[in-house]
Amino acid sequence: MSEGINNQFDFFKKVNLDDDGNIGVSLIGDSVLDNRIIVNQLNFATTICGVIDSTKEYFLDGIIDIGTAQITVPTTGVSIKGYTFDLSGLTSSEDNYTMFVSETSLIGSGNVLMTDLYISASGVNSKVYDIYDSNGFHAIECNRVNYISCSSLGDIHNYRQGLELGTGRFGGSPSLTLHGNWVGGFRISTSITRNMSDTTTEPLFKAGTLFVMNSRFLTDMNVDLGTLQPLLDFSPTNFPNPSSLELVGMLLTRGGLIDASDSNITPNIAQSSLSSSWINNHGIHNTFVGGKSELSVEVQTVITTQNTSYPILGTQNAIHLQHFDAPLNAQLRFLGTKPTEYTVAWDFVLDGQQNDEYKISLCKDVSGAKTIIHSQTRVVNNLQGGRDVAYYSGASHQSLHQNDITYWEVTNLTGTGNCTLEFDSTWTIDKR
């Protein structure tokens, strides 16, 4: 036998075969990849649908129809990889079927890590997942994974976190339900959704049993919804931390049309919710953190001592509040945690004693301690008739943290003449 033939013979001898003669490893040159198991249509029942070896990567050599077989994810997890999401996949068209399961809900599962493949569970009442985290500290991560014509993505219980990068949802009704306590968040980035069912009423994402997201849920998906399909069915109680439901830079349509006023996009939570931080989206409402207070009833502010500050009286209506409230008349309180930099703008007309000098002061209450943020001084004009006023307008930047309260005071610097803030005087707070 020639030397070349001997080298080829030695090369193929390095291939490890299982008891059925199936290839159990892959080769690069003349080196054996001992930690990779090749999965194909002939051996899937004894490899990826058998007892998972969590020390191995399961490589999908093609598109594999696994029928009624299931992938039981052990507490030590599973790693699955393919060539690309065009060339490698796991499919089943069986009815009443679940592809990824835990051994039991009490035993649970570990990490689920998948890259470069597609998944299809298209049967009636079928779904991709019904998995439980074994200890609440595992992840499900999908990189360049497409879900094709799935009847449902199913249920994920109590996982620490989820991550999707470059994923796609094409066809079917790929609704994903999150259950239990999630401490690490869920991020879906650079993802696309197209050709959704026009009869499904199931949202792409929804809250399941006792779902609480203790970190953030963030997505920038490009989505075209089905006729009756919501984007998500979450409520503020699912997100106990302010600004932790982040929809950022989304492009959202329904049947190819943009309508941000569509109430079925997010039926149980609004962009103004304290939980929401919806920014730079097209086709869905955005969150504009801030508020406005405008004078609706004039009340004279009595000044008994020169050069002493008094709260400006009068009934003020607080409107357009997002992440703010008005704990008392003429106050605006920040309820959130981000952003922390704001611009306060005002346009006041103050009726006072002619030729007296009045100072208005923008104040901040931090845990009961007053800080003066900005002051502006004007002299009341001596006008014809009985109306003598001073005009105040401007803007000031300030930092606000949760539960900080902003309000106004007035000081007569030259006398004890009373003053009245006039009707329609306004001030606003907006993020910078």
User: Token pair of 216, please?
Assistant: 């953030």
User: Token pair of 184, please?
Assistant: 């690490």
In the chain, % of residues over pLDDT 70: 92
Kindly report the average pLDDT of the chain as a whole number. 93
- pLDDT for residue 6: 47
Mean pLDDT of 210-228: 97
- pLDDT for residue 33: 82
Give the CATH class of 290-431.
Answer: mainly beta
> How far does the chain reach from its first CA to its final CA, in angstroms?
79
pLDDT grade for 171, boundaries at 50, 70 and 90: very high
- pLDDT for residue 368: 93
Weakest mean pLDDT among 1-5, 207-211, 305-309: 1-5
- pLDDT for residue 382: 77
Q: Which of 93, 107, 79, 219 is nearest to 163 (CA)?
A: 219
pLDDT grade for 19, boundaries at 50, 70 and 90: low
Enter the pTM of the model.
Answer: 0.88
| Alpha-carbon distance values, 290 to 14, 118, 277, 347, 396 (Å) | 67, 43, 12, 17, 14
pLDDT digits (tens, 9 = 90+) for 243-282: 999 999 999 999 999 999 999 999 999 999 999 999 999 9
Task: Taking the CA atoms of 225, 184, 75 and 206 in sequence, report the sign of the dihedral they define.
Answer: negative
pLDDT grade for 289, boundaries at 50, 70 and 90: very high
pLDDT grade for 335, boundaries at 50, 70 and 90: very high
Residues 6+ apart with CB under 8 A from 226: 173, 196, 197, 198, 199, 200, 254, 255
Domain spans of the chain, in order of start: 10-279, 290-431
Mean pLDDT of 3-15: 45
Mean pLDDT of 57-74: 98
- pLDDT for residue 34: 87
Mean pLDDT of 145-172: 98
What is the distance between the alpha carbons of residues 316 and 331, in angstroms, rounded to a whole number?
9
pLDDT grade for 27, boundaries at 50, 70 and 90: low
Would you give the distance in Å from CA 121 to the centre of its chain?
26
What is the distance between the alpha carbons of residues 365 and 346, in angstroms, rounded to a whole number?
18
Comparing 273 with 4, which gets the higher pLDDT? 273
Residues 6+ apart with CB under 8 A from 164: 141, 142, 143, 145, 187, 188, 189, 191
Give 310's strand partners: 410
Mean pLDDT of 211-227: 97
pLDDT digits (tens, 9 = 90+) for 89-115: 999 999 999 999 999 999 999 999 999
Q: Write the secondary structure of the chain as one string of H (helix), E (strand) and C (coil).
A: CCHHHHHHHHHHHCCCECCCCCECCEEECCEEECCEEEECCCCCCCCCCCCCCCCCEEEECCEEECCCCCEECCCCCEEEEECCCCCCEEEECCCCCEEEECCCCCCCECCEEEEEEEEEECCCCCEEEEEEECCCCCEEEEEEEEEEEECCCEEEECCCEEEEECCEEEEECCCEEEECEECCEEEEECCEEECCCCCCCCCCEEECCCCEECCCEEECCEEEECCCCCCEECCHHHCCCCCCEEEECCEEEECCECCCCCCCCCCCCCCCCCCEEEECCECCCCCCCEEEEEEEECCEECCCCCCCEEECCCEEEEEEEECEECCCCCCEEECCCCCCEEEEEEEEEEEECCCCEEEEEEEEEECCEEEEEEEEEEECCCCCCCCCEEEEEEEEEEECCCCCEEEEEEEECCCCCCEEECCCCEEEEEEC
- pLDDT for residue 395: 97
